[in-house]
Structure 1
Amino acid sequence: MSVRKFLLPVSSTASAEAALQAGLLLARMWNAHLEVLYVQSDTREIAPFAGEGLSSALIEDMMTATEREGGARAQSLQELFRAATDHAAVPVGAAHRGADEPSASFTTLTGREEMLVAHKARLADLTIVPHPLAGEDVAAAEALHAVLFDSGRPVLLAPVAPPLHIGKRIAIAWNGTANAASALASAMAFIRQGDSVCVLSSEEYCRPGPSPEDVREYISHHGVEADIARFRSVDRNIGAGLLAAAGAFGADLMVMGAYSTASRLRQLILGGITRHVLENAEICVLMNR
C-alpha cells in the first residue's frame, strides 16, 4: 500500500506555512497529490446569528465585510501556495492517475469548515493539519478534531516549524488499544519505508491488549525490525514522558491513537495525553481513532 493523496486544510498564512512545506515534502516523497483546501464562511449561515435588533443594513454590511475578509484571506493563501509549490518544484494542477511525479492543487469551497474538511478527508489517504499553536490558529484545532471524529481517516499534525524530513525515524506510541492499532495500520506505509522504528511503551500508558513485543512481531512480517523503549511519565505527565521518549529516539514522526483513554470533552477540560501531545509536539504526529 502506498500513499497517493494528501489533504491540507488551511485557514491562515501564519499557520499554513510549515504545514504546506510538510505537505509538499510528503508529496515529493510519495509522488502523490496534495490538495490544499480553504473553506470560506457562508455569509447566509452567519446572518441568522448576527443578533436581534440589528438593522438589515447593518447585517448586510457585516456580511459584506465577512466576504471581503474571506476573499482577501483566500488570495493570500493562494499566493503562499504558489510560492511554496514553485520553490518545491511541484507541478500545480489536477493529479494524473498513476503519474510518477508529485502534484498539487488549491481548492476553495464555501460552507461550514469542519463539515467540509471531514467530508473531503474521507477520500484522502492522510489529512495534514497545521499545528494549532502555529499562528495561534483555532481553526486548525477544529479541523484536526473534525478529521479525527468525523472522517474515519488518519490525520497528521504538522510541526510548528517546517520539517527537514518526515518518516526516517518513526516512534510508535503503543498502549494496546484499538485506537493505537488503527493508527499503526494507517502508518504502515511510512513504517515500511522508515530507516529506524521504535515502539514506545509504559506501564502507566498501556491498557489491556497486545504488548509492544506483539507489535514488534507484527511489523516484522512487513520486513521491518523495531526496537522497544520503555518510558516513564515526566512530572506525573504521561504525555510529557511520551514526547521525551520520542525525542530521545530522535523521531521525526510519531504514531499514536487519539483520545483512547477518555472522552474528548473530558480530555479538553481536564487535560490528557492526546491534548498534551497536540499542544507540545515539535515533530509530525500521525493520529487515528
Structure 2
Amino acid sequence: MVMKTILVPVELHELSQSTLQTAALLGLAFDSYLEGFTLSPALSPFMAADAMGTMVLYQEDAQDNGENAAKARQAFLDAMQAHAIPETTGTGKGPHFGWHAETHGDDFIGNIGRAFDITVLGRPGSKYGQPRGTTLEAALFESGRPVLIAPPEPPRQFGKNILIVWNGSTETARTIAFALPLLARADRVVVLTVEGSSVSGPDGADIVTYLNRNDIACEARSVELEGRGVGETILAETAVHGSDLIIKGAYTQSRLRQLIFGGATREIIAETTLPVFMAH
C-alpha cells in the first residue's frame, strides 16, 4: 500500500513553505514522484475604471504572473533540494520530482489530479493572498482522489499518531480506504466517534475491526459534545491524544448547509494546527 504519485500545485502565499514541506515529507515516506506546477493567482481585487485602465491591469497581471511562475518554480526546486529529492524526466526509484512548465487554474487540479494518488494543498483562508477555498473544492470534488491539507506551520513529521474522525458516512469510509497506506505506517491510530454527529452506518468498533483485518492496530474512542460544537470537540481530542494527523471525510452535510452554517469540516480546516487528510 503506497502513495507513489503526488500532485503539488504551487502558489506564492504565506503557507507555501508548509505546503512544500508537507509534500516533501509525504514523498520521502513513500519514495514517491512529486509533480509541481504553478497555480494561477487569484484575480486582482482592484477593478479598472475604463478600457485603458483595464489594458494596463492586464499587462501588469501578465508580467506579475510570469514573475510568480518563476518564483513558484524556484520555491518548489528549493524544497526538493532541501530534502535531497532529485529531479527526473522519467520513472525512477526512490523519491523524485518533475515540474509541469505551464501555469494552470483550479479546474486543472480537478482534471489532472485524477492521474495522481493525492494532491497536497495549503489550508484555505478568506484573505486575499491566502490559499483559495475554490482550489481545495476543485481537488476534493473533481479529482476523485484524496487531498492532504498542510498545517499553518511546516511540520517536522506527521502520520505517526493518527486520529480518524468516524461518523458512519460514505465519505469517511472512502477516506479511510484512501488513507490505508498512511495508517499502515502509523505507531498509533485512534478511531474517534462524536456522539450525536453520526449518520446511519457502522460504528467505531466496526471500523476498528476493519482496520485490524488490514493489519492496522487501532483503538476506538467515543466522546460527548458536552455543550461544544462537533469541530471543537474533535480538535480537543487531537490535543488529548497528541495526534499529528487528522483523517476525515469532507463535507458530509449538504453543501448548502455547509455554506450557511459552516459545519465541522470547515471548522477543522480553519482551526487545526495539524495536517488534514480528506476525501469526498
**TM-score, with length taken from structure 1:** 0.89
Residues 16-56 of structure 1, C-alpha deviation per residue, up to 9 Å, x if partnerless?
1101011111111110011122133799xx9xxx78x833x
Moved more, 135-144 or 263-272: 135-144
Contact 1:200-1:228 within 8 A present in 2 as well: yes
Cross-structure match for 1:103: 96
Cross-structure match for 1:22: 22
Deviation at 1:59, TM superposition (A): 3.3
RMSD: 2.3
Alpha-carbon distance between aligned partners in 2 of 1:42 and 1:15, rounded to the nearest angstrom = 15
Contact 1:15-1:137 within 8 A present in 2 as well: no
Cα gap change, 1:140 to 1:17, in 2 (>3 Å): farther
* Match of residue 188, structure 1, among 164, 180, 197: 180
Contact 2:4-2:30 within 8 A present in 1 as well: yes
Deviation at 1:235, TM superposition (A): 4.6
**What is the count of residue pairs matched by the alignment?**
278
Equivalent residues in 2 for 1:90-129, closer than 5 Å: 90-96=85-91, 99-111=92-104, 113-129=105-121
**1:209 counterpart SS class:** coil
Cross-structure match for 2:68: 73
Equivalent residues in 2 for 1:228-239, closer than 5 Å: 228-233=220-225, 235-239=227-231
Alpha-carbon distance between aligned partners in 2 of 1:153 and 1:32, rounded to the nearest angstrom = 16
Cross-structure match for 2:272: 281
Q: Structure 1 residue 82 and structure 2 residue 77: aligned?
A: yes
Contact 2:13-2:129 within 8 A present in 1 as well: no
Residues 75-98 of structure 1, C-alpha deviation per residue, up to 9 Å, x if partnerless?
2212222222221111123351xx
Cα gap change, 1:161 to 1:15, in 2 (>3 Å): same
Deviation at 1:134, TM superposition (A): 10
Contact 1:10-1:130 within 8 A present in 2 as well: no
Q: Give 5+ residue unaligned stretches, structure 1.
A: none
**1:152 counterpart SS class:** coil
Equivalent residues in 2 for 1:89-238, closer than 5 Å: 89-96=84-91, 99-111=92-104, 113-133=105-125, 137-233=129-225, 235-238=227-230
Q: Give 5+ residue unaligned stretches, structure 2.
A: none
Cross-structure match for 2:55: 60
* Match of residue 254, structure 1, among 240, 246, 251: 246
